[in-house]
Amino acid sequence: MAGSSVKPTPLLKDELDIVIPTIRNLDFLEMWRPFFEQYHLIIVQDGDPSKIIKVPDGFDYELYNRNDINRILGPKASCISFKDSACRCFGYMVSKKKYIYTIDDDCFVAKNPSGELINALEQHIKNLLSPSTPFFFNTLYDPYREGADFVRGYPFSLREGAPTAVSHGLWLNIPDYDAPTQLVKPRERNTRYVDAVLTVPKGTLFPMCGMNLGFNRELIGPAMYFGLMGDGQPIGRYDDMWAGWCMKVICDHMGWGVKTGLPYIWHSKASNPFVNLKKEYKGIYWQEDLIPFFQSAVLPKECVTVQQCYIELAKQVKEKLGKVDPYFIKLADAMVTWIEAWDELNSSGEKSSKSTSK
């Protein structure tokens, strides 16, 4: 192959969509060109649908704006958030691929400590294609990685691991802090490259950030609902958190794994902490009730599909979190609508129409 100009086929080329929520021209894709160009992009345009989003030449994409979402989902479009990056989950719904990678448009290619550009997507794919270890902790981190293995004392019956549903990547430069922490530590930057991937153990919740996230859509897609955020809602910036907590409870029930760690992307710009505080402040006190709720949530054995699990969770949200705030009753209803819409779009072999294609 030496001297050949044939590009190697990228991993999972025909099995993975990249989902990008945005309100602006996607110039950030230029830096990702060598890594993303051979994949298909699903762009979910947030905000004013009359605005034209420019996508750099050479990318294969479909783009949905609010009008498309309303047309495709009809009344069920109410479950998709507006003026919030939570709208990205519409892209998960219309994809027909096995895997999804989603990334924010203010994220750039990071460098590893040797100065090499990090192919984040490739690392996510590695994470998703190798098993997880949710039932017992391996002190040398990912035992399936080259040069590593299970350590002494790790039960042999658990060494086959579990299917991996989610790969949660991290961020160099601007860390994913909440508004109070942003306000207190405006200059803090994440400069530490931790060369590890690890499985979040069964029974443990974590804060899932949607900035740099891969998942197996065939396994866990219907649980990746990013909730009701933004326009007309009392809360923002909890879309990915909500999805992460629901998803984790369901993965634990189904016996699937969730990884966090590598790959890093370069998060270029901190969002405005004052704006964030306004979006977050209800979430900051609600989460004190949400975490105990999700920590103690139990799904009955009868729930054997993600859809069944999710509908059951919606029921429990309504019953138990409805007392915290009426917002959660509305959210629980939207969770049910989301599953109905998911099944509608995903039961037939038909591909939903789109406004722009290349």
Under rule CB under 8 A, residue 168 binds its own copies: yes
Q: Is 49 exposed, middle or buried (0-12, 13-18, 19+ CB in 10 A)?
A: middle
- Nearest-approach distance from CB 325 to its own copies, in angstroms: 17
Cβ 44 to its own copies shortest distance, Å? 21
CB 80 within 8 A of CB 90: yes
| Closer CB to its own copies, 9 or 157, in the complex | 157
Closest by CA to 89, choosing from 213, 265, 269, is 213
Does the footprint of its own copies cover residue 115 (CB under 8 A)?
A: no
- Which residue in 183, 194, 275, 298 binds its own copies (CB under 8 A)? 194
For its own copies, which stretch binds (CB under 8 A), given 59-67, 171-179, 216-224, 340-348?
A: 171-179
Out of 4, 50, 157, 357, point to the residue binding its own copies (CB under 8 A): 157
Q: Which of 7, 54, 152, 301 forms a contact with its own copies (CB under 8 A)? A: 152
Q: Which of 131, 161, 214, 244 binds its own copies (CB under 8 A)?
A: 244
Q: Applying CB under 8 A, does 277 fall inside the site for its own copies?
A: no
Exposed (0-12), middle (13-18) or buried (19+): which is 330, by Cβ within 10 Å? Answer: middle
260 binds its own copies per the rule CB under 8 A: yes
Residues 221-240 that bind its own copies (CB under 8 A): 237-238, 240
Near its own copies by CB under 8 A: residue from 150, 293, 310, 338:
150
Q: Which two tokens stand for residue 18?
A: 């990249």
3-state SS of 156-168 is HHHCCCECEEEEE
Applying CB under 8 A, among 8, 75, 115, 153 the residue interacting with its own copies is 153
CA triple 206-105-85, angle to 5 deg:
60
Q: Are 298 and 320 contacting, i.e. CB atoms less than 8 angstroms apart?
A: no
Please report, to the nearest 10 degrees, the dihedral formed by the alpha carbons of residues 108, 112, 114, 119 taken in order: -70
The window from 47-55, 215-223, 279-287, 298-306 that contacts its own copies (CB under 8 A) reads 279-287
List the one residue from 14, 151, 183, 269 that touches its own copies (CB under 8 A): 151
Please tell me the distance from the alpha carbon of residue 161 to that of residue 129, in angstroms, as a whole number: 12
Query: Whole-angstrom Cα distance, residue 333 to residue 84?
Result: 19
Instruction: Measure the CA–CA gap between 348 and 351, rounded to whole angstroms.
Output: 8
d(CA 32, CA 27): 10
Q: Does 178 sit near its own copies (CB under 8 A)?
A: yes
Chain residues in the site for its own copies (CB under 8 A): 113, 136-141, 147-158, 168, 170, 175-178, 180-181, 185, 188-196, 198, 200-209, 237-238, 240-241, 244, 260, 280, 284, 287-288, 291
